[in-house]
């Protein structure tokens, strides 16, 4: 009996380790794909950002409907929709999430296609700190000393750009705020990841489809009128949008800890920054280097803020971390 229990326990541990490893792979792959997004948007930089956004929304919805049918989740989709209609607050939150993620997509597409790849990477570096700040303000989450230090360092980095350039890095802040509030609404809603993405695209698809039909009739659309490559890339925006989200929310996020996710989320802006400097040859000034250095230092402090090592650096403070086996 003891041996059987030991083997059973060993099998459970192996299964947990396997799930954790797969979760790490899915999460890392999703952030890796997000980091390479500029390579996808650049070939269609001549297409207006609104048209790219409309295609991204419409084809993402089409892809999600096909996925729901393949996974036999259509009944759950309609049942969830009925429940949302009966709960106006939940419906408003889903619509708000749709608008926030659409705004984030538009700003990102516009930034990449107008030579602001580095600014967009700064936005996603700031995003984790914005998310924690929103958690404090709206979810009553507490901030420890080192997290406060991280916020002050990040604020110094942004302030340095404002002072040197005489203007606010609005692209970076807009990306960080829209995605931060989007994450907040997702946390409040707590819907099934696949159904959630389907609902989010559902509520903005009518406006996207109306716009696409309008420009098609007007004769100004790029889809089907320009090169085959442009048409295929526009149609492919749905898959490109949905796949990383599904990898992360459906497979990655639920298998690994939030701390691990915190480290992985820096893969995307780092790749974007490298692409901006080395591939797209965007200027990276000393001012930006100093500003980014403050942000990077803030992220290091933030990532280590909950560890025993950082707790020991504060006199009189003891780590409250729990050891779980």
pLDDT tens readout for residues 148-204: 888 888 888 888 888 887 778 899 999 999 988 988 888 788 777 788 889 999 999
8 in any annotated domain: no
Task: Give the lowest-confidence range in 108-112, 219-223, 315-319.
Answer: 315-319
pLDDT of 15 > 60? The answer is no
30 in a structural domain? yes
- Domain of residue 104, residue span: 22-139+170-274
Q: Tell whether the model's pLDDT for residue 321 goes beyond 50.
A: no
Higher pLDDT, 281 or 266: 281
Could you count the other beta carbons within 10 Å of the beta carbon of residue 122?
Answer: 27
The answer to whether residue 67 sits within a structural domain is yes
How many Å apart are CA 302 and CA 128, to the nearest integer? Answer: 9
Report, as an integer, the average pLDDT of 80-84: 88
Is-contact 227 2, C-beta < 8 A?
no
What's the average model confidence in pLDDT over 63-69? 92
Q: How many CB atoms lie within 10 A of CB 120?
A: 25
Distance CA 204, CA 132 (A): 27
Q: Does the pLDDT of residue 20 top 50, yes or no? A: yes
Asked if residue 254 has pLDDT above 60, the reply is no
Q: Tell me if 231 is assigned to some domain.
A: yes
Bigger pLDDT: 314 vs 159: 159
Instruction: Please report whether residue 4 resides in a domain.
Output: no
pLDDT digits (tens, 9 = 90+) for 194-243: 888 899 999 999 999 999 999 999 999 999 888 999 999 999 999 898 88
Q: Is residue 191 one of the residues assigned to a domain?
A: yes
Q: Tell me how far apart the alpha carbons of residues 189 and 186 are, in angstroms, rounded to a whole number.
A: 5
C-alpha distances in Å from residue 280, one per residue of 9, 117, 269: 52, 8, 15
Domain count, the chain: 1
Average pLDDT, whole number, for the chain? 82
Encoded tokens for 12: 């459970």
Q: What is the percent of the chain with per-residue pLDDT over 70, rounded to a whole number?
A: 82
Intra-chain end-to-end CA distance of the chain, in Å = 23
Residue 59 has pLDDT above 90, yes or no: yes
Asked whether residue 324 carries a pLDDT value surpassing 60, the answer given is no
Return the structure tokens found at 266.
Answer: 């820096």
Higher-pLDDT residue of 232 and 261 is 232
250 DSSP assignment: I
Residue 259 has pLDDT above 80, yes or no: no
Tell me the per-residue pLDDT of 280-307, one tens digit each, with 9 for 90 and over.
Answer: 999 998 988 998 999 889 888 877 776 6
Please check whether residue 162 lies inside any domain of the structure.
no
């Amino acid at each position: 009996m003891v041996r059987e229990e030991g083997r059973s326990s060993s099998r459970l541990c192996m299964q947990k380790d396997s799930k954790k490893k797969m979760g790490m792979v899915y999460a890392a792959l999703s952030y890796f794909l997000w980091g390479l997004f500029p390579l996808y948007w650049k070939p269609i930089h001549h297409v207006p950002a609104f048209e790219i956004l409309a295609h991204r929304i419409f084809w993402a919805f089409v892809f999600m409907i096909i996925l729901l049918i393949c996974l036999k989740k259509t009944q759950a989709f309609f049942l969830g929709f009925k429940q949302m209609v009966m709960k106006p607050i939940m419906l408003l939150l889903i619509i708000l999430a749709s608008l926030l993620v659409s705004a984030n997509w538009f700003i990102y597409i516009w930034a990449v296609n107008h030579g602001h790849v580095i600014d967009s990477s700064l936005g996603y570096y700031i995003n984790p700190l914005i998310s924690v700040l929103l958690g404090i303000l709206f979810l009553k989450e507490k901030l420890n000393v080192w997290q406060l230090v991280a916020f002050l360092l990040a604020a110094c980095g942004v302030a340095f750009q404002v002072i040197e350039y005489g203007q606010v890095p609005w692209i970076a802040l807009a990306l960080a705020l829209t995605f931060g509030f989007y994450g907040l609404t997702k946390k409040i809603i707590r819907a099934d990841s696949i159904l959630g993405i389907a609902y989010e695209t559902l509520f903005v698809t009518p406006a996207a489809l109306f716009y696409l039909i309008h420009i098609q009739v007007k004769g100004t659309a790029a889809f089907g009128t320009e090169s085959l490559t442009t048409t295929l890339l526009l149609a492919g925006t749905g898959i490109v949008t949905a796949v990383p989200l599904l990898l992360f929310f459906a497979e990655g996020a639920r298998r690994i800890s939030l701390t691990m996710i915190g480290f992985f989320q820096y893969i995307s802006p780092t790749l974007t920054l490298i692409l901006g400097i080395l591939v797209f040859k965007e200027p990276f000034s000393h001012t930006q280097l100093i500003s980014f250095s403050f942000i990077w230092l803030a992220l290091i402090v933030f990532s280590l803020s909950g560890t025993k090592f950082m707790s020991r650096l504060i006199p009189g403070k003891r780590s409250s971390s729990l050891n779980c086996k």
